[in-house]
């Protein structure tokens, strides 16, 4: 995937400001706002790594989990026709819609080389 950085299980967004001539981003998937920036691509990566390391240390000092926890449920907005097709397909497979969506996500993660 483009426009992201990964380090120690953290994801960082990547953006470029033409006005400021600087790369910048933020750590995604955490409950806090942690940003980083650099004048070069290498500088941006270095800043991201430093911010992740600092954030992990801060969380450790505060006895706080660094990564956001997830409930395991979420809303997905899709077209009514896609919704109908998904329900019909799930039913014909003997699955609930939730189990069907979970199976599709697991399949796509495995296809991407990520253990579900």
Residues 45 and 76 in one domain: no
Q: What is the mean pLDDT of residues 94-113?
A: 95
- Inside any domain, residue 110: yes
Q: At what angle do helices 80-92 and 97-111 cross, to 10 degrees?
A: 90
Residue 39: other Cβ atoms inside 10 A:
12
Task: Tell me what pLDDT residue 70 has.
Answer: 87
Residues 11 and 50 in one domain: yes
Task: Tell me what pLDDT residue 1 has.
Answer: 52
Contact 21, 39 (CB under 8 A): yes
Strands 22-28 vs 4-7: parallel, antiparallel or unpaired: unpaired
Phi-psi region of 106 (alpha: psi -120 to 50; beta: other; left: phi over 0): alpha
Written as one string, the DSSP assignment of 29-77 is SSSS--EEEESSHHHHHHHHHHHHHHHHHHHHHTT--SSPP--S-----
Task: Tell me what pLDDT residue 69 has.
Answer: 86
Residues 107 and 87 in one domain: yes
Residues 46 and 78 in one domain: no
- Inside any domain, residue 85: yes
Where is pLDDT greater, at 115 or 44? 44
pLDDT tens digits for 70-101?
889 999 999 999 999 999 999 999 999 999 99
Residues 56 and 92 in one domain: no
Instruction: List residues bridging with 110 in a β-sheet.
Output: none
- Inside any domain, residue 66: no
Residues 53 and 77 in one domain: no
Domain carrying residue 55: 4-61
pLDDT tens digits for 41-70?
999 999 999 999 999 999 999 999 999 888
Count the domains in the chain.
Answer: 2
**Model pTM?**
0.74
Task: Tell me what pLDDT residue 13 has.
Answer: 96
Residues 8 and 57 in one domain: yes
Residues 39 and 86 in one domain: no
């Amino acid at each position: 995937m483009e426009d992201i950085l990964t380090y120690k299980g953290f994801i960082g967004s990547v953006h470029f400001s033409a006005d400021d001539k600087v790369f910048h981003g933020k750590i995604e998937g955490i409950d806090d706002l942690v940003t980083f920036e650099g004048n070069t691509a290498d500088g941006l990566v270095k800043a991201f790594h430093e911010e992740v390391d600092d954030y992990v240390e801060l969380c450790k000092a505060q006895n706080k989990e660094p990564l956001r926890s997830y409930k395991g449920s979420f809303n997905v907005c899709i077209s009514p026709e896609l919704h109908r097709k998904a329900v019909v397909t799930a039913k014909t497979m003997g699955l609930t819609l939730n189990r069907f969506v979970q199976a599709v996500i697991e399949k796509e993660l495995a296809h991407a080389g990520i253990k579900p």
